[in-house]
Amino acid sequence: MFVIRFFLLLCLGGLPVIYLAAQQLEQHEEYRRQGPNTEFLALKDAYNQAVEKKDPLAAADCLEKMGEICFHLGHYPQALDYHLQAGQIFREQGAQDRVASNLNHIGLLYYYNKQKDMARKQYEEALDIYTRLHNNAGIAVTYGKIGHLYEKQQQYDSAFSYQRRALGVSLQANDKQGTAKIYENMGSIYEDLAKYDSAYYYFRKALELNEQTGERIARIEILNNLGDVLRKTDHYPESIIQTRKALILAMELNEQRQMSGAYRDIGKAYHLMGQDDSAFVYLEQSREYLLDTYSDENSKQVALLQTVYDIEKKNNEIEKLQNARKTTGIITVAIIIVVLLLVVLCLLIISRQRLKIKNEQMLGLQHRQIFETEKELMATALENKQLQEGKLKEELEARSRELTTHTLHIIQKNQLLEELRLRLDEMVKDEKRDQKKQLKQLLQQINHSFNHDQYWVDFRNIFEQVHQTFFDNLKKYCDSLTANDLRLVALLKMNMGSTDIATLLGISQDSLRVVRYRLRKKLNLQQGESLTAFIQSL
């Protein structure tokens, strides 16, 4: 199928396509000597070695060359797959110039698959990369490929525009080989437009540069193109001379496809000259070479397909073994890791238990120390409290004694005053007029002494110190008690008898009963409830 497509393109004037195929052949001189399957196997082995050595760029180079072999034999999907793999590696490694070159290969594959939009997209990306890298040679090549797309779409103005851009950049880069290709492309455009003088001019310039660079396969295409132009302009002898040069060069390089094309072009020229016998001979030779090429091409394709199949089969088996080995290795490593983790976990548990026991012992010791310290502090505090209580008790007893003594002093004073009052009262009753006035004054002084409150103030202060909360509790029941009421309550709290209370208050027993009655009413005591018992309970 590839050879038929090649032949049709050649017959239709697709000269750039012929050149592209020839260019691929030139890049694989080893393939021409040994065959595609041998070269493909060598590249596959080199690829595996590069992968083992972890050399991604070398692996990508092998993939790219494998893609070129598949492209040359017409296996475009397989070629595209290899080029895409290579491009991915180039991107990962940051080899931008290689990415751009690979994109041009991918664009050519899309073109042959009749996906011109995708081809243009690859060329545009390659052009962008080359522009950023200031790679004029790459820019020129990419411009030429874009121009070639426009040419095949018969958009010749755009094709010329890009080819002129390519020519300017290529001349600036002094790339003779690239410039020769651009001249050839421009001649091909003029040939399509039937402007044969211009086409001949550019083909001649392409040939001159090619002879300087020594690219022999590319020269076959240029010579064939010159022969075509001369034949189309009725210069048949000159056309045959150029085509014979192409034929000789194709025989030297054993390019059967080019030999078949050259024989065909010579036959056409003889036919146009009216020499049909010669034309028949050359056309028959062209047909034989074409059949041989087709048969040889099929054999190569079958061999390559078998090689690819065997390689894929071998790779699948190797991949299965590697996966099994990896799985076994992973399981082994996992078991080792699990065992190590278990050992580490056991050690951690043991270490943690030891640490826990040690911490518990330390905490127990600290708790005991704290307990002993707290115990000592509590004992000291208890001892201090006992001392304070003893001291307070002694103070309370002293105050009680002082209160009792004070009360007894008051009682004694009042008893003394009572006796004096009685005696003075008797003296007043005597008939002695001269003492009566003085005695009355003395009696008034004594009575006044009974009502003096200073002693009661001292008494109350001492009483409140002894009985601190007594008066507070008493006020909860009644807060309108008078000073005399409070004196009576204090004396009742001291559990004194009615006689002593009357004496201390300087009132009679009858008056005392009245005072007691009034106090009961103020305290809201029920009839029959003991006043003394109520006060003692406060």
Supply the pTM of this predicted model.
Answer: 0.49
pLDDT value for 417:
73
Listing DSSP states for 294-321 in one string gives HHHHHHHHHHHHHHHHHHHHHHHHHHHH
- Is there a domain that residue 17 lies in? yes
Among 298, 313, 331, which residue terminates a domain? 298
List, for residues 369-411, the tens digit of each pLDDT value.
888 888 888 888 888 888 887 777 767 666 666 666 666 667 6
- Model pLDDT for residues 2-19, shown as the tens digit of each residue: 333 333 333 333 333 333
Structure confidence at residue 201 as a pLDDT band (50, 70, 90): very high
Among residues 515, 532, 528, 527, which one has the least CA distance to residue 481?
515
491: tokens are 């004396």
In which residue are the tokens 């005991």 written?
A: 368
Going by C-alpha positions, the residue among 85, 83, 139 that lies closest to residue 112 is 83
Task: CATH number of the domain at 494, please.
Answer: 1.10.10.10
The domain boundary residue, chosen from 245, 279, 298 = 298
The tokens of 513 are what? 């009963």
Stretch 158-184: mean pLDDT: 89
Whole-number pLDDT of residue 26: 42
* pLDDT tens digit sequence for 464-499: 777 777 877 887 778 788 888 888 888 888 888 888
Decide if 271 is inside a domain: yes
* Full DSSP string of 30-93: HHHHH-HHHHHHHHHHHHHHHHHTT-HHHHHHHHHHHHHHHHHTT-HHHHHHHHHHHHHHHHHH
What is the number of structural domains in the chain? 2
Residue 284 located in a structural domain: yes
Residue 204's pLDDT band (cuts 50, 70, 90): very high
Nearest to 236 by CA among 184, 278, 195: 278
Q: How large is the C-alpha radius of gyration of the chain? A: 67
Does 180 reside within a domain?
no
Rounded to an integer, the average pLDDT of 170-176 is 87
94: region left, alpha or beta (phi > 0 left; psi from -120 to 50 alpha)? left
Q: Which of 37-41, 186-190, 370-374, 400-404 has the highest mean pLDDT?
A: 186-190
Residue 201 lies in a domain: yes
- Give me the half-sphere count of Cα atoms (radius 13 Å) on the Cβ side of residue 336: 6
Split at pLDDT 50, 70, 90, the class of 330 is: confident
Give the Cα separation of 131 and 120 in Å (integer).
Answer: 16
What distances in angstroms separate CA 125 from CA 134, 152, 153, one per listed residue?
Answer: 14, 20, 21
Helix (H) or strand (E) holding 252: helix 236-252
d(CA 209, CA 186): 14
pLDDT of 295: 53
Q: Using one digit for the tens of pLDDT, what is the confidence trace for 121-167? A: 999 999 999 999 999 889 989 999 999 888 888 898 999 899 899 98
Q: Which pLDDT value is given to residue 15? A: 34
Say what the pLDDT of residue 308 is. 58
* Low-confidence winner among 103-107, 128-132, 348-352 (lowest mean pLDDT): 348-352
Mean pLDDT, the chain, integer:
79
Residue 114: closest CA among 170, 85, 88, 153: 153
Domain housing 9 = 1-34+196-298
Q: Is the dihedral of CA 396, 397, 401, 407 positive or negative?
A: positive
Please say whether the beta carbons of 21 and 72 come within 8 A: yes
Q: Can you give the CATH number for the domain in which 230 is found?
A: 1.25.40.10
Q: Does residue 485 lie in a domain region?
A: yes
- Whether 510 maps to a domain, the answer reads yes
What is the per-residue pLDDT for 14? 35
Structural domain contains residue 280: yes
Q: CA neighbours within 13 Å on the CB side: how many for 532? A: 9
Which of 240, 267, 298 is at the close of a domain? 298
Choice between 370 and 294, residue whose per-residue pLDDT is larger: 370
Q: What spatial distance separates the first Cα and last Cα of the chain, rounded to whole Å?
A: 129
In this structure, of 207-221, 225-239, 422-436, the range with the lowest mean pLDDT score is 422-436
User: DSSP class of residue 242?
Assistant: H
Of 34-48, 129-143, 524-538, the range with the lowest mean pLDDT is 34-48
Look up residue 433 and give its two tokens.
């007029």
pLDDT of residue 434: 60
